[in-house]
Amino acid sequence: MSSNHTEITQRTIAKVEASGSPYFIRDSNLVGFAIKVTAKGKATFIVEIRVKGKTSAIRYSIGDVEDYTVKDARDEAHLIIANAKRGYDPRYTREDKNPRAQSLRHHLEVYLKNKKIRESTATTYRNQCNNAFKDWYKLPVDAITRELIENRKSELNNKFSDNYTNSCFRTLKAILETSDLPFNPVKKAFKKWGWSLQSTPTIKAQYLMPDKIRYLFHGCALSLMKDTEEKYVQTDIDEDGNDSVYLGEKPLPNIFAATVYLLLIGGRKQDAVNLKWNQIDFTSKRITYPPSSRKENRPHLIPITGMLEDILKRLPRYPDRPELVFGMSGEMFRTRYEKDIQPLIGFL
């Protein structure tokens, strides 16, 4: 059975062909990682290892090259080799029986999937892990010790703010809680040194004085009145080739209405920015936020009553973003908020 050594890439796989006899392509960068090709040309990623405490080497199949990318297969090989050095035999170690032997990356993805975390939050968690623990991804989680945590905290404190560092460790703590470890090394390290995982407030409390509240509501009323009275048409050519008549300016996104809306529902910026007209049902008098927009991954219903109904019914359709209730991108909201609303807000 022939063999050759080269760096295994997707191009390597593309060149695999039947030779009439089986052969191996062994990776020149990762010892033990290889491709086995049968006489008929079927290619399989494999790993060749010696398990700690065992006398003979074994050859373990990772999977068909059509089912794995080279990167994924190489990552899997790294994990199997690392586990073999710790005495784990891949032939008898299975994910459901030995979760402690699985990598941090594996447990991160399992955590995000099983917790049904919305995509924006999952992106945040992945970014935190990439920034703080990327070099641990291939480690079995039971190799993440209290000492590793202590050293990494010192490193991160020199690189990031205390609040961001603590946020990264809170994410890691949550992931490791689901990995069947006998104890959580994050909790153990923080308890030993009396460290806190909680973030400290970074901004002062904000509030609106009564006169500013009146100004805000007055501004909302005036802007809605202007939007209601303004008429416009977009310049166009009719069937006879004549220009359409210009009747006024397009209505501009209304930051006063958006801010009052958020005050009334107790919402966050994205609750106004992402609100679409198809979420509003005036017949049943309710606004529906889909599960994907909520941290708890459940639909959120808001009754349309009083001032809320008045605001929504008086808002125009904004030509540039007709599907959006307030017609603003996140950046537009921010700039208008800083210009017109922020000056009204006091600080404790």
Q: How far is the CA of 162 from the CAs of 46, 131, 194, 198, in angstroms?
A: 43, 14, 15, 10
Strand-pairing partners, residue 346, are 207
Q: Residue 286: phi, psi to the nearest 5?
A: -155, 150
pLDDT band at 241 (very low <50, low <70, confident <90, very high): low
Q: What CATH number has the domain spanning 206-347?
A: 3.90.15
CA gap 138, 29 in Å, rounded? 16
Domain boundaries along the sequence of the chain: 2-93, 104-193, 206-347
Q: What is the pLDDT of residue 96?
A: 46
CB-facing half-sphere around the CA of 293: CA atoms within 13 A: 18
Q: What is the pLDDT of residue 89?
A: 85
CA gap 263, 257 in Å, rounded? 10
Query: Which residue type does 295 have?
Result: K
Q: Residue 264: phi, psi to the nearest 5?
A: -70, -35
Burial 93-116 (b: 16+ CB within 10 A, else e): beeeeebbbbbbbbbbebbbeeee
Higher-confidence position of 121 and 25: 25
CA gap 224, 253 in Å, rounded? 10
Packing angle of the helix pair 162-177, 104-114 (nearest 10 deg): 80
Is CATH 3.40.50.11810 the classification given to domain 2-93? no
For the domain made up of 104-193, give the CATH fold.
Answer: DNA polymerase; domain 1 (1.10.150)
pLDDT tens, 73-102? 998 899 899 989 988 888 775 444 467 778
pLDDT tens, 32-57? 999 999 999 999 999 999 998 888 89
pLDDT tens, 134-171? 999 888 898 899 999 999 999 999 999 999 999 999 99
Residue 60 above 80 pLDDT? yes
Q: What is the pLDDT of residue 206?
A: 65
DSSP state of 245: P
Mean pLDDT of 293-320: 88
Does the pTM exceed 0.75? no
Do 104-193 and 2-93 have the same topology in CATH?
no
